[in-house]
Amino acid sequence: MPEPARVLVLHDGSATSSPGLDAVAEQAPLTFTDEAGLAEALPGADVLYLHHFLSHALREAWPAADALQWVHVAAAGVDPVLFEELIGSDVTVTNSRGVFDDAIAEYVLGQIIAGAKGFRAAWRSQAEHRWQHRESDRVAGQRVLVVGTGAIGRSIARLLRAVGLEVRGAGRRVIEQDPDFGHVTDDLLGALPEFDWVVAVAPLTESTRGMFGTKEFAAMPAHARLINVGRGELVDTDALVEALERGAIAGAVLDVVDPEPLPAGHPLWDLPGVSLTAHQSGDVRGWREELDALFADNLGRWRRGEELRNVVDTELGYVPTTRSQT
């Protein structure tokens, strides 16, 4: 076994007290830093664990990364670290693929059920002490387009199909017979008119940034609703607000937004048909411990010279599905 690596943990104030890091500390000495101290702490670090997974601080601190070999991100999305200098380097990037899949799928199913059954309206009536009868929609048979065919998208597809929803996928290439989606299209705009729900879970890359804009909302049926559990920047927020205001679509469930956090005076807070949650769709109890356990396992693999889990293709911006996930 080689000498322990120097592992630097970038945190937002919570990582230093995370019990899941005990298994990491048993393998290597840990140094903790916040964003302000990252450039000073980076020299000599072999491994950077981005516990603060939304941080963009590495880009500015990059010149100080004189020994860095591996960056692990405590999230599925790795867009904060995909800047030109890192992409062009030999530094390996891994993510936390697999930790959030089932939880996010449950969130999506819950939001679809809540929308179809009119729960939000019922809760408003209860708060106003009004006994108001309403009819609702069946969930089974509604059509869902999942935009993003990675691990999270596939988990969503499997769960929705299990309760009777008709699911298709949209991705970078056509797949005629897919085990989870049935069919995957590469023509998002052409597919949108056929679906009652559109779930955005694609990775954020230059090709997916703003992929939901004026044309896409115009293509969706007026009764359709968008669910975004990917990144806020997948959606042109101004175009979404306009589409909601003029009734081009019926509503939106937004776990992620652009900008994030959403400013207090933003119109999305009060638009009818909008449901907002604070980037929490995958954050079930114990999620941080699972993230740390994944990193601890990968650190052991790295020290033994074994293949790492969840190696990101930095040119693509995500973990290719052909790569081993063992």
Catalytic residue among 260, 266, 303, 323: 260
CA dihedral for 32, 36, 37, 42, sign (positive or negative): positive
- Tens of pLDDT along the chain (326 residues) come to 456 689 999 998 765 556 778 888 899 999 999 999 999 999 999 999 999 999 999 999 999 999 999 999 999 999 999 999 999 999 999 999 999 999 999 999 999 999 999 999 999 999 999 999 999 999 999 999 999 999 999 999 999 999 999 999 999 999 999 999 999 999 999 999 999 999 999 999 999 999 999 999 999 999 999 999 999 999 999 999 999 999 999 999 999 999 999 999 999 999 999 999 999 999 999 999 999 999 999 999 999 999 999 999 999 999 997 533 43
Active site residue 231: yes
- Give the contacts of 278 (CB within 8 A, at least 6 positions apart): 255, 261
| 3-state SS class at 277 | coil
Q: Rounded to an integer, what distance in angstroms lies between the CA atom of residue 8 and that of residue 45?
A: 6
Among 231, 233, 288, 309, the one annotated catalytic? 231
pTM above threshold 0.85: yes
**Active-site hit among 143, 266, 279, 301:** 279
Annotated active-site residue 307? The verdict is no
Please, what are the domains in the chain? 7-99+285-304 (3.40.50.720), 101-276 (3.40.50.720)
Measured CA to CA, the distance from residue 315 to residue 323 in angstroms comes to 15
Determine whether 266 is an active site residue.
no
Cβ proximity of 309 and 81 under 8 Å: no
pLDDT value at residue 148: 97
Residue 5: the pLDDT is 81
The β-bridge relationship of strands 143-147 and 92-94 is unpaired
